[in-house]
Structure 1
Amino acid sequence: MSEHSKSKPGPPIVGVSKNIERVRELIEHVASTGLNTVVFGESGVGKEVVAQNLYQKSPRLGKPFIKINCAALPEGGLLESELFGYERGAFTGAEQKKKGKFQLAHSGVLLLDEIGDMSLPLQAKLLHVLQSGGEFSPLGSEKEVKADTWVIAATNHDLQKDIEEGKFREDLYYRLNIIKIYLAPLRERPEDIPPLIDFYVKEYAAMLNNRRVEKPSADVIERMCAYSWPGNVRELQNVLKRMLVLGDCNQIIDELFNNEKAPQNGENSDSGADHHASLSTIIDLGGKNSPDNQSFSLKSAKKKAVEMVEREIISHVLGKTDWNRSKASKILKISYKTLLYKISDLGILPPEK
């Protein structure tokens, strides 16, 4: 539920994309201020790494760094105890006095991970502490305690949407969100994948007692850059560990793409005349590219199939957006740079006017 350290080093912010460069700039500007900060981004993008870097570059380095998972906080009578502590006898089972996370993080940093999952009653109590400059009363105590704690929150939620739906307090949002740092998903910054691979291969080699590990080949890295990485950096880390331990890099990548393209529950795979017509254009049944011909290549046919599907989807989205490539890249959930590359590579042309 929580993590406590006094100077635990975290990994650096790795990448070359504009988003990562902007994140580094914000860290440099914000770290010395101690202003409440919210780090936004999908699960697995590295929000905790950003918080650790803020801490390491701040005057609070060497003081406590405490992480608490808001989604795991208990409900009911123990609601306050995790964050604000309690006195002996405050409730059944409270056999001794215990400090809460705010007190433990005094003069340091408190990372409220998954802040979007915090219950509304606890949001109200947190707001009171922030408004009062860090003052609160532990459960069962009449005395006020004050903690000088830098609050950093992290979430994969769209908090403004949560506010509209009554799931998050607007006043707490504005109290927390003095500084906003957005960490883009990995699919929008494929240029960060090669440096991330370099970094983690070296790190995992050390973890494996410096035994010789081979970095994935250039072809494998190129395929990894084309994958969408729904689990973001966390998924990339897990895949690299499998590759370094098991080998079979291309087989592992094949599994990723197959899982990505598999029909979801309740969906039917393509069938009927259109499906067979599409296949015939790929494998040229009865011709030189037929599976009956010795020169037939499954790899080549698979590549053609992927290119054909990509061309159709991208052309369709570009048509719907009147060739607004910025809007199309957002719909397709790929970077603008990747979209321009695919338009050129697949030979997609704008309609004649």
Structure 2
Amino acid sequence: MKDDLIGVSANIARVLQLVDQIAGTDLNTVVCGNTGVGKELVVKQLYQKSDRKGGPFIKVNCAAMPDTLLESEMFGYERGAFTGAHRKMRGKFEQAKGGVLFLDEIGDMSLSLQSKLLHALQDGEFIPLGSEKTVKSNAWVIAATHHDLEAELEAGEFRNDLYYRISAMKIYIEPLCKRPEDIPHLIDYYIKKYALQLNGNYSTVLSKHSLDKLCSYHWPGNVRELQNVLRRIIVFGEEKSIDEMLSISNGPGNSTDGCTVNGQASPLTDYLGLNVRSLDLSELSLKKFQKQVSDQVEKDVISYVLEKTGWNRSNATQILKVSYKTLLTKIQDLQIRPPASLI
């Protein structure tokens, strides 16, 4: 089954209308929305409905690598341009010639690299690292971001000129909690898709009780979270997966119940399971508590992301914005263990 943009809400209807209108142009477009709403799906639909659908579709994740590596990925390099450059490499801009260059999470790009991207977009040409020759590209640039770019403009964290260059057209996808009427349709589509993938048939049917639970949930992780829950339902059974999902969403990290003010209690001290006011003054090292809080927060966040990605470490590194090596080190140091079902 090929994924389409699923929904009956006014927002999805507007998105689909914009896709049809924009696909016939080569106007640079930015797709905005929270993580997990389906931005890449919209980008792919723009590509599929355009005259460029027979050309290359090249994706660059701007949040997944440091500046120096991202620059060489985008613009390419000559042999000997830097240590380790043993051969010439064509950049993504050049590879996307005649097709689409998808710049995912462009809001995470540094200001210095934004400047170089701006020149490439303005001139339709660039110079690879270590080269003196100009390379031309007519790639259609489509960007996506979960950032509020207008707010970043105000804060000086995103270039005004680049913003106006990439956003000749703009598509905004609302979070799933703002379009609850789409949830039943998404459930119906993906439960059939995953049942076919994982069980080889369409036979999985959710009970009304389970459907009500899923439809009343606020889905902070949007469609991606819904997809993960439905996969778990297919594999483990609906009651366990849905109850587990609800317990996570309503856990201590997402509730302020029981917190008071004026120093009597605080989210962090409750979180660590201690009461600062009960400790000896000799035990109140700020550095020690900073380390405790940092470790506990990191452990909870990493554990949550690993669970949501089914312990797919590569996907987790992209969400957490750390290197694969860093993630493995933290998993070991923080003693994070996969569930028994994945061992």
Q: 2:247 matched to 1:235?
A: no
| Aligned equivalents of 1:238, 1:71: Cα separation in 2 | 22
Task: Give the alignment's TM-score, normalised by structure 1.
Answer: 0.70
Q: Match of 1:269?
A: 258
| Aligned equivalents of 1:116, 1:95: Cα separation in 2 | 31
Q: 2:1 matched to 1:12?
A: no
Contact 1:73 1:82 in 2 (8 A): no
How far residue 10 of structure 1 moved from its aligned partner, in angstroms, is 5.7
Q: Match of 1:252?
A: 241
CA separation of 1:206 and 1:79: change in aligned 2, threshold 3 A: closer
Task: Give the alignment's TM-score, normalised by structure 2.
Answer: 0.72
Q: 2:191 matched to 1:201?
A: yes
Spell out, residue by residue over 1:61-95, the C-alpha distance to the aligned partner (whole angstroms, 9 max, x if none): 1211011110123234x452110101111112111
How far residue 32 of structure 1 moved from its aligned partner, in angstroms, is 0.9
CA separation of 1:17 and 1:212: change in aligned 2, threshold 3 A: closer
Does the residue aligned with 2:142 lie in a helix, a strand or coil? strand
The one-letter code of the counterpart of 2:248 is N
How far residue 148 of structure 1 moved from its aligned partner, in angstroms, is 0.9
Equivalent of residue 165 in structure 1, options 128, 141, 155? 155
CA separation of 1:170 and 1:10: change in aligned 2, threshold 3 A: farther
Q: Match of 1:298?
A: none
Contact 2:26 2:140 in 1 (8 A): yes
How far residue 173 of structure 1 moved from its aligned partner, in angstroms, is 0.5
Equivalent of residue 142 in structure 2, options 118, 131, 152? 152
| Aligned equivalents of 1:101, 1:230: Cα separation in 2 | 33
| Aligned equivalents of 1:83, 1:42: Cα separation in 2 | 25
| Aligned equivalents of 1:15, 1:265: Cα separation in 2 | 28
| Aligned equivalents of 1:172, 1:123: Cα separation in 2 | 7
Q: 2:40 matched to 1:32?
A: no
How far residue 246 of structure 1 moved from its aligned partner, in angstroms, is 1.1
Moved over 4 A (4+): 265-268
How far residue 203 of structure 1 moved from its aligned partner, in angstroms, is 1.4
Aligned residues: 260
The one-letter code of the counterpart of 1:172 is L
Q: Which has the larger radius of gyration?
A: 1
| Aligned equivalents of 2:70, 2:9: Cα separation in 1 | 41
CA separation of 1:242 and 1:266: change in aligned 2, threshold 3 A: closer
| Aligned equivalents of 2:213, 2:254: Cα separation in 1 | 26
Q: Match of 2:107?
A: 116
CA separation of 1:129 and 1:217: change in aligned 2, threshold 3 A: same
Q: Match of 1:57?
A: 49
How far residue 236 of structure 1 moved from its aligned partner, in angstroms, is 0.3
Q: Match of 1:105?
A: 96
Does the residue aligned with 2:90 lie in a helix, a strand or coil? coil
How far residue 268 of structure 1 moved from its aligned partner, in angstroms, is 5.2
- Identity of counterpart residues, as a percentage? 58
Spell out, residue by residue over 1:123-170, the C-alpha distance to the aligned partner (whole angstroms, 9 max, x if none): 0000001111x2101111111110110000000000111112121111
The one-letter code of the counterpart of 1:252 is S
User: After the TM superposition, which residues 327-338 of structure 1 pair with which residues of structure 2 at under 5 Å, given as runs?
Assistant: none
| Aligned equivalents of 1:94, 1:262: Cα separation in 2 | 49
| Aligned equivalents of 1:188, 1:79: Cα separation in 2 | 34
| Aligned equivalents of 1:27, 1:164: Cα separation in 2 | 28
Does the residue aligned with 1:39 lie in a helix, a strand or coil? strand
Contact 1:137 1:145 in 2 (8 A): yes
| Aligned equivalents of 2:111, 2:126: Cα separation in 1 | 18
The one-letter code of the counterpart of 1:107 is G
| Aligned equivalents of 1:10, 1:215: Cα separation in 2 | 21
